[in-house]
Structure 1
Amino acid sequence: MAKQKGFIKLKGSLGGLTFYESGGNSIVKTTEGVDKNRINTDPNYKRTRENMSEFGASATVGKALRQGFGSIIKNIKDSTITGRITGIMKRVNSLGSGLRGRREFEILDNKEVLEGFEFNSKVPLSTVFYPEYAAPTLDVNRSIATWVVPDFNASNFLRPPEGATHFKLILVSTVLSNYTYSAGLKKYEPVAPTENKVNGITYSDALSVVGQVGAATTLTVDLGFTSPLPNTVGVIMATGILFYQQINTELYELSSTNAMRISAVG
């Protein structure tokens, strides 16, 4: 039995799976009265096996993405993030090549599915941080991510939470490998395990929420690769903002309106 946390909440039975609500949660389980061995072997449950294989793989690839943002995600995520990431990975999987139940996760080919994902669905980045800026870019090796935010007036282009005195901009970069089905192992494996989940993060200086910043802010993350990354991986770049309150000389993070989104995949 598993909780259903995708974008679309289903009710009823589909492909040998039953979707229902219990205790305020959306649950998915195999149809009552069906023996596990029968599901695994009966030709009538071929579609069920395919659904289970790809759903489980979507959760696995989604977990890899969350781990790539592990150093910051706890400061920004909402309670639905696991299900929402699994949902977008299932969309990537549905567009992949191969037979049902073994379709590949092809990150670069489907980057538009990932771009724009908000880590805190209740606080999209554009609702608290809205100066004009371009998405991060990558160098020729796809190792160095750079985000440049032109000078702006924080009084006009921020919506800080009550009590905030400062903010920091953040750039996070992580590698996510394509995943392919291994018939021998009967599960999905990363195509590029060495590069998979390599990540880095950088923060701007603490800046006042009032007045002109005074200069362009340039953030750079270097993942350390000395040769071009293969096309079987995507470099996921997320941009965000953290708010702080200064008390005496100390800065204390305010978690209520921190925001981050996937701005580019290269």
Structure 2
Amino acid sequence: MAKANGFLKIEGTIDDLTFYKKDGKNFVRRKGGVSRERILNDPSFVRTRENGAEFAHSANAGKLLRFALGTLVFKAKDSKLASRMLQTMSKIKNLDTTSLRGQRRVGLGIATTEGKQILKGFDFNLNAPLKSVLFAPFTFDSLTGSISFDTFIPAEQLQFPQGATHFSMQSAVLHLDFETEEAEIAYSALVNLPISHVPNSTVLTPSSLPAGNGVQLFVLMFSFYQEVNGVQYSLKNETFNVLTVIEVL
């Protein structure tokens, strides 16, 4: 690495020289590293190719899940969701004990009990994980997919953002086959309630239970609003919204 002292300050690449700025100073360095062609063909880089193939597969699996959940994820996510999902899918992929290295699959890993446990409890928005927002007990019925709350008091059992006057609850069940990339989702009715001390008993039941090869993911969402002149507005671009995987079957 050399320091550029010339009058003309360049940033960018010319031939095999890269000019860049760091801490207010200008530097130049020669491009290096292994060529893409060598990585793709040299036998000594076989481990690199295997790791790259599994990395790409895990990243695609995470993208598949995010897109399959659709608007739910768009309403409740943090800035590092894609990278966190990649890490989770990589762990699940590692549970595939039948495929060769470089060909291990998320779809085979999640078919195991351990794989399902890794995804269970995943929070799509770390700014608002379920355990730090909801303090009311609920029950889950795997036969109907329903999530039931008994004597839920929102003002006492929700950690709600300042200014919130109302909240909504909704559940969904997603059938997803990571191998074929087939997906189908069914939602419960959206329940909107004021944040008050009035107890309520709410049951969220999806309209159907999509099934087939792959897995069923049951998710629960909370979103918060402020009512002004009879109109409810989401708070701070939905930063406080919750979306969590309740169960994986």
Q: How high is the TM-score relative to the length of structure 1?
A: 0.74
Aligned to 1:212: 198
Aligned to 1:103: 104
**2:183 maps to which of 160, 178, 197:** 197
**Contact 2:72–2:243 at 8 Å: present in 1 too?**
no
TM superposition shift of 1:75:
1.4
Aligned to 2:77: 77
Alignment map for 1:17-96 (pairs within 5 Å): 32-96=32-96
More RCO (CA 8 Å, sep 6+): 1
Aligned to 2:230: 249
Aligned to 1:118: 123
| Higher Rg | 2
Q: 1:251 is aligned with what amino acid? A: Q
Aligned CA RMSD, in angstroms, stands at 2.0
Q: Deviations over 1:55-88 (max 9, x none)?
A: 0000110011001111121211010001101110
Distance 1:42 1:61, change over 3 A: same
The 3-state SS of whatever aligns with 2:131 is helix
Distance 2:158 2:69 in 1: 24
TM superposition shift of 1:256:
3.0
Which 5+ residue runs of structure 2 have no aligned equivalent? Answer: 1-21, 23-31
Alignment map for 1:7-18 (pairs within 5 Å): none
TM superposition shift of 1:260:
1.5
Q: Deviations over 1:99-124 (max 9, x none)?
A: 11001222231101101111111221
**Contact 1:67–1:197 at 8 Å: present in 2 too?**
no
TM superposition shift of 1:151:
2.1
Distance 1:72 1:104 in 2: 26
TM superposition shift of 1:219:
1.1
The 3-state SS of whatever aligns with 2:116 is helix
**Contact 2:69–2:174 at 8 Å: present in 1 too?**
yes
Aligned to 2:207: 222
The answer to which structure has the higher helix fraction is 2
**Contact 1:234–1:265 at 8 Å: present in 2 too?**
yes
**Contact 1:40–1:49 at 8 Å: present in 2 too?**
yes
- Give the total of aligned pairs: 213
The answer to which structure has the higher strand fraction is 1
Distance 1:163 1:85, change over 3 A: same
Identity of aligned residues (%): 29
Aligned to 1:261: 244
**Contact 1:204–1:217 at 8 Å: present in 2 too?**
no
Which 5+ residue runs of structure 1 have no aligned equivalent? Answer: 1-21, 23-31, 179-189
**Contact 2:57–2:105 at 8 Å: present in 1 too?**
no
Q: How high is the TM-score relative to the length of structure 2?
A: 0.79
